[in-house]
Structure 1
Amino acid sequence: MILVVAAVAISCTSSQDPVTPLDHRSLPVDTSWAASPVWDDGKAEVAVYEAVRMVYGKRRTYEFTMITVKEMFNRAFNVKTDSYERNDLFTVMKVNLAARIETDVYPYHYLTSMFFPRTSPHDVFKITTGSQEWCGNTFKRIQRTDSTYGYAFDSYWDNEGAGIRTLPLNVWFEDQLFYTLRALDHAKAKTQFTVRVLPTMITNRAALDTATPATFTLTSDVIDPSSLGTISSIVEQECWRVTMKRTDGVEAQWWFTKDPQHILLRFHHSDGRSLRLKTLSRAAYWTTE
């Protein structure tokens, strides 16, 4: 069975037609996935990966950290609240993606923060991402509104600079898939569905390419736990694999545990990026003790 979500092609420089948001009823998404009490323990899930990315034509190895934690936002500022004595609070799941990539001359630093309503793991509420290296820094922000995503950016690149655009709601951002795919209903392991996907925002450029139709396939797979180093003792051989194939030839695969948490074990992208889980813990990383 193939489920298709209708969407229009977009680019950051074109005007947007009215669009229909993604409808979770047509996708194998478990909207209750983040309701698990594991997220109510006051700690964050901290997953550290051995990572590879091509930079300046060379294969660079580095550490990639993914932090997933529940937070309480207020609607006045759409950020984590300091005060809980107010009536505009709502719960989100935050996913931070942090990386430092060394090159032959200077390092690249990336930090991406993504926020999802706790009951909507397929709908991005906000994304902020920044890159810093010796040539300059670039900042990008995605903010959901009732009818569109607002996209604001400030780039050091010529022909980009600072700007504001709108994007339709019926697209997925590739980076959100590290979280959204964990919430798929893996009981429907052979289900296929199609969504338009925008490429990774973890770059130092502000331009977004056109959203491309991508078909996702869920299958059962087997992974060698010994390939995961120190965490091999907690990983079963059987896992879920999600494969994405875009119509432009781009492909990616994600491997998740079959337990209810659906921990990301491995990731591979046709552009040369890859992740392999190295350590996994729960920690209140914001404390100094």
Structure 2
Amino acid sequence: MKQLLILSLVFSLLGCSGASQRSINYDAFGEYWYQGKAELNSYELEQYRYGEKRVGEAVLIFVTEDFWRDKQVKLDEPQANESDAQKVLKLNMTKKFITGIYPYSMMLSVFTPVYDSIPAVKVTASVQEWCGQTYTQLKRNNGKYKAQLFSYFERESDQQLTLDAIPEDNLWTLLRLHPRQVPTGEVKLIPALLDQRLTHEQLEAEEATITIAPATESMAGFAATELQLLTVKYKAYPRTLHIFYTSAFPYQIAGWEEIRRLEGGKEEVSRATRKATMMIDYWTKNKNKFEPLRRKLKLDN
């Protein structure tokens, strides 16, 4: 009953929205994404840092939730604020790995409207390690992104920028809505925020090419014939991204590769391969008795 009420609210809000609507099969979408659960995915991670390959874990959490249009934060009582409610598909990505004696913990969050045909309304990224921490935020305003960067590095310090491009990080959630929502061809992108935190490159719009094609290799238990490959290749920024996803709905992420081009033509290839997946209302599973669920997800830490 609760889910039916939520669906009723969502479709009533569509009639009030001034933005154009996405072309999506909402019956199939709602059956999968409006169960009151999140999709959890664990990945074996190979992450390059300081010129060496590190072994760690990554987690992708996809879930729908109500977002406050103006404040761009989670809306706790959408029924009481119908005019401000906006349904979004949220991605929380975490990466954890060890560099020598000290650990890295990285997190990305992406909030993409489900019904309004606009890019992500908010993207945030944070990195914690023993040297210090950084935080980056993109908020969509009047068709552009207001970027804020807070860093403990002197040469970066605190920054505020305006960027007129699509966040690369938005591609993950657009893909899950439907692959045809992903722009292809020549596109101006804001490179992945977590990659930018590792490279310390200047945060700015970059020219890139996006392609989607059948995969030519298997991954994470999926045959190549079951997978599609999304590729992002930048013209000047030294990065290429490959996302392997299932060709049928709900377009699950089997794994990905992040390739950094070094001087002299060498490449560092960071990879993630899916270990396990689970649909669950994880926010209700915060007691000690639920820790065995982590073993089902094949999580080590």
- What TM-score range do you get, normalising by the shorter chain? 0.7 to 0.9
Equivalent residue for 1:184?
179
Instruction: Tell me which amino acid in the other structure corresponds to 1:65.
Output: V
Q: State how 1:93-112 maps to structure 2 within 5 Å.
A: 93-112=89-108
Unaligned runs of 5+ in 2: 1-19, 261-268, 288-301
What SS does the aligned partner of 2:169 have?
Answer: helix
* Contact map agreement 1:138 1:204 (CA 8 A) in 2: no
Q: State how 1:127-166 maps to structure 2 within 5 Å.
A: 127-166=123-162
Cα distance in 2 for residues equivalent to 1:103 and 1:131: 14
Question: Relative to 1, partners in 2 of residues 1:220 and 1:177: Cα closer, same or farther, differing over 3 Å?
Answer: same
2:253 pairs with 1:264: yes
- Report how far residue 260 of structure 1 moved: 1.3
- Report how far residue 235 of structure 1 moved: 6.3
- Report how far residue 209 of structure 1 moved: 3.8
Cα distance in 1 for residues equivalent to 2:160 and 2:204: 16
Bigger mean CA deviation after superposition, 83-92 or 36-45: 83-92
Question: Relative to 1, partners in 2 of residues 1:175 and 1:147: Cα closer, same or farther, differing over 3 Å?
Answer: closer
Q: State how 1:1-289 maps to structure 2 within 5 Å.
A: 31-32=23-24, 36-37=29-30, 38-84=32-78, 85-87=80-82, 88-120=84-116, 123-168=119-164, 171-182=165-176, 183-185=178-180, 193-202=185-194, 203=197, 208-224=202-218, 227-228=219-220, 232=221, 237-248=225-236, 250-271=239-260, 272-287=269-284, 288=286
Question: Relative to 1, partners in 2 of residues 1:196 and 1:114: Cα closer, same or farther, differing over 3 Å?
Answer: same
* Contact map agreement 2:214 2:225 (CA 8 A) in 1: no
* Contact map agreement 1:60 1:101 (CA 8 A) in 2: yes
- Report how far residue 281 of structure 1 moved: 1.1
Question: Relative to 1, partners in 2 of residues 1:236 and 1:251: Cα closer, same or farther, differing over 3 Å?
Answer: closer
Instruction: Tell me which amino acid in the other structure corresponds to 1:57.
Output: G
Cα distance in 2 for residues equivalent to 1:235 and 1:71: 32
- Report how far residue 262 of structure 1 moved: 1.1
What SS does the aligned partner of 1:129 have?
Answer: strand
- Report how far residue 86 of structure 1 moved: 2.0
- Report how far residue 204 of structure 1 moved: 5.7
Instruction: Tell me which amino acid in the other structure corresponds to 2:132.
Output: G
* Contact map agreement 1:236 1:257 (CA 8 A) in 2: no
- Report how far residue 34 of structure 1 moved: 6.9
- Report how far residue 46 of structure 1 moved: 0.7
Q: Percent identity?
A: 25
Q: TM-score, normalised by structure 2?
A: 0.75
What SS does the aligned partner of 1:81 have?
Answer: coil
- Report how far residue 222 of structure 1 moved: 4.4
Unaligned runs of 5+ in 1: 1-24
Cα distance in 2 for residues equivalent to 1:146 and 1:220: 36
What stretches of structure 1 move > 4 A for 4+ residues in a row? Answer: 204-207
* Contact map agreement 1:196 1:214 (CA 8 A) in 2: yes
* Contact map agreement 2:66 2:75 (CA 8 A) in 1: yes
| Structure with more contact order per residue of length (Cα contacts < 8 Å, sep ≥ 6) | 1
How many residues of Structure 1 are paired with residues of Structure 2 in the alignment? 252
What SS does the aligned partner of 2:36 have?
Answer: coil
User: C-alpha offsets along residues 154-195 of structure 1, whole Å, 9 cap, x if unaligned?
Assistant: 110112212321111xx2222222222342229x9xx95111
Cα distance in 1 for residues equivalent to 2:163 and 2:234: 19
Cα distance in 1 for residues equivalent to 2:52 and 2:117: 35
